[in-house]
Structure 1
Amino acid sequence: MPTYGVLGLAVAGAFAVGAATLCYLLTALFPLVGVQMARSAAEQLDRDVLLGAVLAEVLFSLPYLLALLTAGTLVVIWTWRARKNLDAFPGAVPNLSPAWAIAGWLVPLVNLVVPARVLADLLRNSVWQRRQSWLVGVWWVSWLVFLIGDRFVARAEQQRYDRLTELPRNDAEFATYVRFYEDALAPRLVPAVACLVAGIAFVVLIRRISAAQQDRLSRAVPAWPGQPVWPGRPGWPAPAAPMPVAPTSPQVPPTPGGTIGA
């Protein structure tokens, strides 16, 4: 069965996951910046400062989206390679086929359950320590809280933002933007904490699984030592000499009164 190196990919994936987690935390804490800009706009009655706050939040989100796309690509490749390695490990009994290592991340609703099962398979059949299975549970719960919480908070914020005055003209209307950013921080902390826990747990998982698989691959004995040599090339073993045959005397047909030849 073919095997794939996963240690280098795991390092790159862990770095990308860490970067995506950090970028998301920065976007979650943006209301701290937004409230200061909204207060400055209220003091100056300047709508352009409010527009600048919106553009600043977009700029905060771009690094997160780039890091998330990179991390997602690396994680899908790593998951497929690690799952394929299980097929070459004697004693490994995975519950899901390698196809789920890719489809499990991409299919809606399925991605809420299947990735956790794939990771549980990888951990159980690579590390061989059941006491570490709680890491998959921690990652799965925090991942679900992050996914659901982030969408719920984003939708609620959008509804609140749509109720604001589009072109504020007085102190009261500018003050609504200040309250908007003040009230936006607390709900964002729930998915932010969940994202931090999920990111740390996932980095630990991929590093441990990859280290265990790489150690097992490095200790594997190849079926044919050395490099293959084509027939007729230098290094190809010479044909074995034929086995010597002991000489025998020819058989003599029996004659009357005679004996059979030895």
Structure 2
Amino acid sequence: MSPGLPTYGVRGLAVAGAFAVGAATLCYLLTALFPIVGVRMARSAAEQLDRDVLLGAVLAEVLFSLPYLLALLTAGTLVVIWTWRARKNLDAFPGAVPNLSPAWAIAGWLVPFANFVVPARVLADLLRNSVWRRRQSWLVGVWWASWLVFLIGDRFVAQAEQQRYDRLTELPRNDAEFGTYVRFYEDALAPRLVPAVACLVAGITFVVLIRRISAAQQDRLARAVPAWPGQPVRPGQSAWPGQPGWPAPAAPMPVAPTSPQVPPAPGGTIGA
């Protein structure tokens, strides 16, 4: 471990980030499958000729989306912090040669167009310089490809659905007009499956990457022996006085015991 460079624990953030990513993935899958619920509600509205049921379907989809947005925001925040900490640790690892500075660990997620390339390069740096196993680099490719398919596919599907929804009759009055809402939800399910599957693959692979990189870094931090410049430190010995492992001060040399001086008694002999 290079002296003078800070290191950061990433195990706790990795657990929290993996949980948040898993929650966001699950919530998105539920929103993607909402047309199954929407079809049932649209058919019920058509049978009753009740517009309020259709309005209830719209509100139900919004309620489905709120947990996903909350989980996505939480996961994004934790992932950015984890990425920055893990990248900073590379600076303290001898032999690590990252290609991008720690600033890109944050900016890479936020800068437009750069966020289509930089996060994958940062994660590849982390995997290569933490795990030291080149055969695992394919995980980054699978994660990033599925993530891009999810981002682009979700936006494309949302825009197409909005255009189809705008063409529906705003205030349906008969079976035919209510039937258009039933067909809208029936046709919405299949296109949503593509970004849903991509989201599932991206979520699983990213959790695997977080756990493997964090485990490798924590293991290296645990085995590291900090050294004060110019002061050799033995394994198991702390580099700081007063801390566990710092050698105890040498015990004073024992002094031979001496007999107590006794004043001469009357009639005694000096020296007796």
Bin the TM-score by the shorter chain. 0.7 to 0.9
Encode CA deviations 1:154-180: one digit per residue, 9 max, x unaligned. 000000000000000000000000000
Q: Which runs of 5+ in 1 are unaligned?
A: none
Change (3 A) 1:249 1:165: closer
Shift in Å at residue 256 of structure 1?
A: 65
Q: Does the CA-based 8 Å contact 1:18-1:199 persist in structure 2?
A: yes
Matched, 1:181 2:185: yes
Q: Does the CA-based 8 Å contact 1:84-1:98 persist in structure 2?
A: yes
Encode CA deviations 1:46-99: one digit per residue, 9 max, x unaligned. 000000000000000000000000000000000000000000000000000000
- Say which SS state the counterpart of residue 216 (structure 1) adopts: helix
Which stretch has the larger CA shift, 67-76 or 229-238? 229-238
Identity of aligned residues (%): 94
Take 2:41 and 2:63, find their aligned partners in 1: how far apart are those partners? 15
Encode CA deviations 1:27-62: one digit per residue, 9 max, x unaligned. 000000000000000000000000000000000000
Take 1:157 and 1:206, find their aligned partners in 2: how far apart are those partners? 34
Tell me the TM-score normalized by structure 1. 0.86
Q: Does the CA-based 8 Å contact 1:2-1:85 persist in structure 2?
A: yes
Encode CA deviations 1:110-149: one digit per residue, 9 max, x unaligned. 1111000000000000000000000000001000000000
Q: Which runs of 5+ in 2 are unaligned?
A: 234-239
Tell me the TM-score normalized by structure 2. 0.83
Change (3 A) 1:235 1:215: closer
Change (3 A) 1:123 1:43: same
Take 1:204 and 1:77, find their aligned partners in 2: how far apart are those partners? 17
Change (3 A) 1:29 1:216: same
Change (3 A) 1:88 1:251: farther
1:242 pairs with one of 246, 252, 271: 252
Q: Does the CA-based 8 Å contact 1:251-1:260 persist in structure 2?
A: no
- Say which SS state the counterpart of residue 92 (structure 2) adopts: coil
How many residue pairs are counted as aligned between the two chains? 262
- Say which SS state the counterpart of residue 97 (structure 1) adopts: coil
Change (3 A) 1:47 1:89: same
Q: Does the CA-based 8 Å contact 1:253-1:261 persist in structure 2?
A: no
Residues 70-219 of structure 1 correspond to what in structure 2 (within 5 A)? 70-219=74-223
Q: Does the CA-based 8 Å contact 1:41-1:47 persist in structure 2?
A: yes
Change (3 A) 1:210 1:239: closer
Change (3 A) 1:257 1:80: farther
Shift in Å at residue 223 of structure 1?
A: 1.9
Q: Does the CA-based 8 Å contact 1:252-1:260 persist in structure 2?
A: no
Shift in Å at residue 225 of structure 1?
A: 12
Provide the aligned C-alpha RMSD in A.
9.4
- Say which SS state the counterpart of residue 68 (structure 1) adopts: helix
Q: Does the CA-based 8 Å contact 1:17-1:199 persist in structure 2?
A: yes
